[in-house]
Amino acid sequence: MEDPAASTSFRKKGKGAAFWLSFIAIIAAVFLSALDLTAVSTALPTITQDLHGDSDFVWVGSAYALSSTAFLPLSGALADIFGRKPVMLGSIFLFALGSALAGAAQNMNWLIAARTVQGIGGGGILNLTEIITSDLVPLAERGLYQGILGLTWSFASGVGPPIGGSFAQKASWRWLFFLNLPLTGIAFVLVWIFLAVRTPEGSVRAKLARVDWFGNLIVIAGSTLAIVGLTFGGIRFPWDSAQVLAPLIIGLALIVVFLIYEGKVPKEPTIPWEVLSNRTTIGGYLATLIHGIVSISIIYYLPVYFQAVLGASPIRSGVDMLATALLIAPFAFVAGVLVQVMKKYRPANLLGWVLTIAGFGVLSLLRADEPVARWVGYQILAAVGTGMIFAATIFPVLSPLPVSRTAPALAFFAFVRAFAQTWGITIASTALQNALKRRLPPAFLARFPGGLEIAFAAIPLINGLDEPLRGEVRVAFAESMRVIWLVMLGISGAGLLTVALLEEVPMKEMTDERYALEEKARTGDAEGAEKTVVEKEGAVEEKREQSPDALSEPVVRSSFIAEAEEGMHL
């Protein structure tokens, strides 16, 4: 039997200009989405005050999360049917449209609607980024490239909070959204010109007929209802009210119905049942779910500590967040490289969860009068752990699956992460609201007669309070923030348990040729194509001997044969 490495020799000759230009286009799209996500959280108190949206502030983030989450499975299906490039361009356009509408918003409802449009585009951008990267780079080699994307995210996350704070404090928060317009223009042009990947053939009518519209309608409705319930809970209505429980329960039930429907009914499902039918992949999805919950709490609620407890301005709170923003992605890079070098993903996941637990543990020690060295050091530890998990969970998700299932697997991966982030924002918000109600001085609490939301609406008022009330309010916020970190510590403990579900399945050394770079579309004559099949089948047989229970081999074998036959006809 030939060396399995031979099966990928044609991929290891170096990356050509087409690859790097395509990858640069992806990087531009990632930068665009990450910049917006991290900048808005810093400016949120100012936006809330300016648009008089005290009762609706949570929807600025939740509307984005709702729309991006609900449409993620559909974006993966469209990418498989229509091709990666058209869906990426459409996502960038929607992001630009939502940004323009958000910048022009005259009230909170307008802004929330704009963020909904923006979320559809932003979710598609992030999903297509993962999918296209998987098309260009085999899983076994992806650690380095995931790291590069992570560094891009880190840079955008680092400059995002100061930019958001600067616009909010010195100019107008509206420019935070208008800034996206030239950036979307650059990203759109780069993708249009340089993203030279194959597009499936066929008429638009035939492609539309292949889309699982009913399945997507179920998951969009379920996601929307569940996120509406989560957003209302503890903010607009009490958690035990019908306005919260009804949409939440119905929404979660619809998501379960969607998963059952996908496994039983459509000929071309949005999320094939195979994606959810093995322990390692499920373990990766559970870890992604838990990581989404705990990581978003840091991004959204550390600025609350800096502004409410330390009295930082929006600009200063963005600078104070740099330790987190600039370290999450470098350690995602470290985790990716560690997986690539070790050829194993369990160690990176284990180390990441241990550090995450330790990070939330030390964050829970923060008080109102902490010195700079402590709150910087504490957030560094939390950032290192969550950064490693950010990159590490994708490997167990994809390793047991055939490359032909990459797009739906990654669409569900992105769906799980985005849905989890909504839960994370809601869980942290609820913990903070309940704690503030118990700890804030009655004289200050009386300013919020509704009693259902306090945090972001209260921040702009704190610096204008007289002592000793101002000091009492800051102490109350510090003690309440501790509740968030303790809750996230417990949830991170559940994340550590997911490592026990992971088995070390050999990572793929091939990609799906249906969506390869156009310069590789014709790989040679029939003899060369036939040789590729023989070599790939040899690699599959050897991997089957190493991991006989892996689910991917039979499907991969058939896809290899189909690819070779197609190549021989070219």
CATH number at 17 reads: 1.20.1250.20
Angle of CA points 93, 394, 67, to nearest 5° = 35
Structure tokens at 422: 């909504």
Q: Please give the pLDDT value at position 547.
A: 43
Q: Are residues 282 and 257 in the same domain?
A: no
Residue 117 counted as domain residue:
yes
Residue 552 counted as domain residue:
yes
Residue 346 counted as domain residue:
yes
Q: Are residues 446 and 458 in the same domain?
A: yes
Please give the Cα distance from 135 to 141 (Å, whole number): 12
DSSP letter string over 319-366? HHTHHHHHHHHHHHHHHHHHHHHHT-SHHHHHHHHHHHHHHHHHHTT-
Residue 507 counted as domain residue:
no
Mean pLDDT, the chain, as a whole number?
77
Q: What is the pLDDT of residues 210-234, one digit of tens each?
A: 888 898 899 889 988 988 888 777 6
Bridge partner list, 197: 517
Q: Are residues 223 and 288 in the same domain?
A: no
Give the mean pLDDT of 436-456: 75
Question: Which of residues 472, 501, 530 is at a domain's end?
Answer: 501
Q: Does 477 or 166 have the greater pLDDT score?
A: 477
Phi and psi for 218 in degrees, rounded to 5?
Answer: -60, -50
Q: For residue 101, what are the CA distances in angstroms to 97, 111, 119?
A: 6, 7, 12
CA torsion angle 261 265 269 275 (round to 10): 60
Q: What is the pLDDT of residues 231-276, one digit of tens each?
A: 777 667 777 788 888 999 999 999 999 988 888 888 888 888 878 8
Q: Are residues 169 and 184 in the same domain?
A: yes
Q: Please give the pLDDT value at position 308.
A: 85
Quickly count: other Cβ atoms within 10 Å of residue 264's Cβ. Answer: 9
pLDDT for 523 beyond 90: no
Among 447-456, 486-495, 547-556, where is mean pLDDT lowest? 547-556
Q: Please give the pLDDT value at position 560.
A: 29
Among 48-52, 93-97, 447-451, where is mean pLDDT lowest? 447-451
Q: Which of 112, 308, 95 minimizes the C-alpha distance to 181? A: 95
Q: Are residues 123 and 45 in the same domain?
A: yes
Domain boundaries, position 238: 215-267
Give the mean pLDDT of 512-534: 46
Bridge partner list, 233: 237
The structure tokens 């579309």 sit at: 521
Please give the Cα distance from 292 to 390 (Å, whole number): 9
Q: For residue 525, what are the CA distances in angstroms to 202, 528, 531, 535, 568?
A: 24, 5, 10, 16, 6
Residues sharing a CB contact under 8 Å with residue 80, sequence separation 6 or more, in sequence order: 200, 407, 408
pLDDT for 161 beyond 50: yes
Q: Please give the pLDDT value at position 158.
A: 64
Q: Are residues 301 and 450 in the same domain?
A: yes
Greatest alpha-carbon pair distance for the chain in Å reads 84
Give the confidence band of 141 by pLDDT, cuts at 50, 70, 90.
confident
Residue 509 counted as domain residue:
no
Q: How many residues does the chain have?
A: 570
Residue 165 counted as domain residue:
yes
Please give the Cα distance from 303 to 353 (Å, whole number): 23
Q: What is the pLDDT of residues 339-395, one digit of tens each?
A: 888 889 999 999 999 999 999 999 999 888 888 888 888 888 988 998 889 888 989
Give the mean pLDDT of 540-553: 40
Give the mean pLDDT of 16-22: 74
Q: What is the pLDDT of residues 451-477, one digit of tens each?
A: 556 777 777 788 787 888 888 888 888
Residue 27 counted as domain residue:
yes
Please give the Cα distance from 438 to 475 (Å, whole number): 12
Contact assessment for residue 354 and residue 342, using Cβ atoms and an 8 Å cutoff:
no
Residues sharing a CB contact under 8 Å with residue 488, sequence separation 6 or more, in sequence order: 293, 294, 297, 360, 428
Q: Are residues 207 and 221 in the same domain?
A: no
Q: Are residues 490 and 565 in the same domain?
A: no
Number of domains making up the chain: 3
Residue 510 counted as domain residue:
no
Q: Are residues 347 and 206 in the same domain?
A: yes
Give the confidence band of 518 by pLDDT, cuts at 50, 70, 90.
low
**pTM, rounded to two decimals:** 0.75
Please give the Cα distance from 506 to 545 (Å, whole number): 11
Q: Are residues 397 and 356 in the same domain?
A: yes
Q: Please give the pLDDT value at position 536.
A: 44
Q: For residue 421, what are the CA distances in angstroms to 41, 362, 415, 525?
A: 14, 22, 10, 48
Q: Are residues 455 and 529 in the same domain?
A: no
Q: Please give the pLDDT value at position 360.
A: 94
Q: Are residues 415 and 547 in the same domain?
A: no
